[in-house]
Structure 1
Amino acid sequence: MATTTTTQPGDSRTQAAFDTVRKCVTLFGAVGAIVLGTVAVMAFTGHEATPFMWIRGAILLAVAPLIYRMVVRASQGSYKAFDRVRTLSTIAPIAIIGVDLIPGICPPWYAVLQGLSTLALVGVAVTTRGSALSAAFPKQK
């Protein structure tokens, strides 16, 4: 007879998955800081640094701690926070890359750095849809 076990937010497998998610969000924030720092250096040295680059770099850097806080709440059992992290980590990379592909909006180096930051969010999207976290947070109606 097969037994079915449900994973709870406090289980070690679930917490290991949340550790991975926290690392990915931290990486997203670190790359965001690098992007903003690079824009600052480019502006300081007289190279192109448009308002778009400044504003977007600052917004994405500011979003990282908010996502991190949602991950912490999700790891404590909040389905609402978990669902937000899962949704945001799916939509944000598409939006970031989509905007970067608009011709002339930003230089290629900026688009590449932003693309690298989205890889961390893709990791969050994959992990939050994995078996450990899907079992911990069954679909709610």
Structure 2
Amino acid sequence: MATTTTQDSFTVVKKCITLFGAVSAVILATVAVMAFTGHEATSFMWVRGVILLAVTPLLLRLATRAAEGSYRDFDRLRTVSTVMPVALVGVDLIPGLCPPWYAVLQGLSALALVAVAVLTRTSAFPRQS
């Protein structure tokens, strides 16, 4: 059975994932507005925006199952939340791939996942026996 501290931590994790999704939605909406107004909106920006927004419910599902006691989903969430921010920032640093504003917003969304990675590595979460 999970302790109150553990459940509180999972609540914060879910809020961080929701924030990641909200920022992803803002990014995708910005790309759509730019495309609609005739500004450059590359296929990279569209595809990445859609994929990252689509990942949000999957991350929330992992967090929910982890909160219910699934170590497998907890471990997956911990791994994904560690790898994704590095990958997001790493790809954004490739010169010419995306405009600076896009990279900055992606970096902000990555910060929410960094918080998830930190929280999933604290002692408040269950350890595999």
Give the TM-score category using the shorter length.
over 0.9
Q: How many Å apart are 1:70 and its aligned residue?
A: 0.5
2:52 corresponds, among 60, 80, 89, to: 60
Q: Does 1:91 align with 2:91?
A: no
State whether structure 2 residue 65 is matched by structure 1 residue 76. Answer: no
Counterpart in the other structure of 1:43: 35
Q: How many residues align?
A: 129
Alignment pair present for 1:11 and 2:8: no
Q: TM-score, normalised by structure 1?
A: 0.90
Structure 1 residue 125, shift from structure 2 partner = 0.2
In structure 2, runs of 5+ residues without a counterpart are none
Distance in 2, Cα, partners of 1:11 & 1:131:
12
> Among residues 101, 121, 139, which one is paired with 2:93 in the alignment?
101
Runs of 5+ unmatched residues, structure 1: 1-7
Q: 2 CA distance for matches of 1:61 and 1:18?
A: 20
Question: 2: CA distance between counterparts of 1:124 and 1:59?
Answer: 19
Other-structure match for 2:128: 139
Identity of aligned residues (%): 65
- In terms of Rg, which structure is larger? 1
Q: Which residue of 2 aligns with 1:123?
A: 115
